[in-house]
Amino acid sequence: MTTDTTVAPTTTGTLTLTLVRHGRTYLNQRRLLQGLSDSPLTRDGREGVRTTARHLAQRRFVAAYSSPSGRAVATAAEILRHHDGVRLRTDPGLREYHFGEYERKHESVLDQVIAWPELVGQIIAGTHPGLPGGEDAATFLGRLREAMARIASAHPDGGEVLVVGHGLALGVWLATVGDGVLVPLPNASVSQVRLTAEGLRVDGVALDVAQQGVLGARPARPLVVAAWA
C-alpha cells in the first residue's frame, strides 16, 4: 500500500480503478508511433477488445472514463455493451504522450535520436524537455495525475470504475504510483488499482486477457522493456 496524495481520495469504501489499454490499431500493427495521432482498430484488435469485454462483463462498474482518442473510445464503447446504463465520459488528461514530429513515424526513426529506455526513463523522472513539436515530461505527468485525481474525487464512496487509455500513459502512471517498474501493456490488457483512505495499491498489471502480446518489444534496461503508444 502506498500513499499518493494526488490520487487517493477519502472514501467510505474501496475505489477500484480497472485500467484497460485500447485495442490494437493499424499504426500499432505497423509499429508506427501514434501519440495524439489516431488510427482505427484492426480486425484482430476488435476481436481482442471483445474478448476483454467478455472478461469484464460481470463487473459492476459505477462509471467509465476514456481518453478522447478514437481508439480508446471505440475500446470503451465495446466494453460498455455489457454494462447498460453506464455512461462513458472522456477526459483529455488521459490522452497518450505527444511524440511531436515523430508521430506516425516508425519506432526505429526515434531510436536513432534517443534510445527508447532513455526517453521513457526521462519521462518517468519528469526531466525530458519533449521531442520537437511534442510534449515535455512534466506536462505529461501533470495531466495524467490530474486526470486520475479527478476520477478518484468524483467517486468518494468507492465502487469500480473503468478507465480506458493508452500504453505509455497508463504504463507511466502505474509505474509512478507503484514500485517504479514500467511493465509493457499489451493491447486490450487489464490492470487494476485500489484506493482507500489509507492509500493506493496496485493489484495487477498487464493481464493479457486477449492474448495480444506486445508488438515490437525491444530489449532494454529493466526499467523499460518495450515501446507502447
pLDDT, the chain, mean: 90
Q: Which of 122, 170, 163 is nearest to 144 (CA)?
A: 170
Task: Flag whether the pTM goes above 0.85.
Answer: yes
For residues 207 and 194, what is the distance between their CA atoms, to the nearest angstrom? 16
- The domain ranges of the chain are 15-207
Q: What angle is formed at CA 95 by the lines to CA 59 and CA 203, rounded to 5 degrees?
A: 40
Asked if 130 contacts 102 with a C-beta cutoff of 8 angstroms, the reply is no
pLDDT digits over 85-116, tens only? Answer: 999 999 999 999 999 999 999 999 999 999 99
What is the DSSP code (8-state) at residue 32?
A: B
List the catalytic residues.
22, 96
For residues 38 and 41, what is the distance between their CA atoms, to the nearest angstrom? 10
Output the CATH code of domain 15-207: 3.40.50.1240
pLDDT digits over 152-202, tens only? Answer: 999 999 999 999 999 999 999 999 998 877 889 999 999 999 999 888 999
- What average pLDDT does this structure show over 135-150? 98
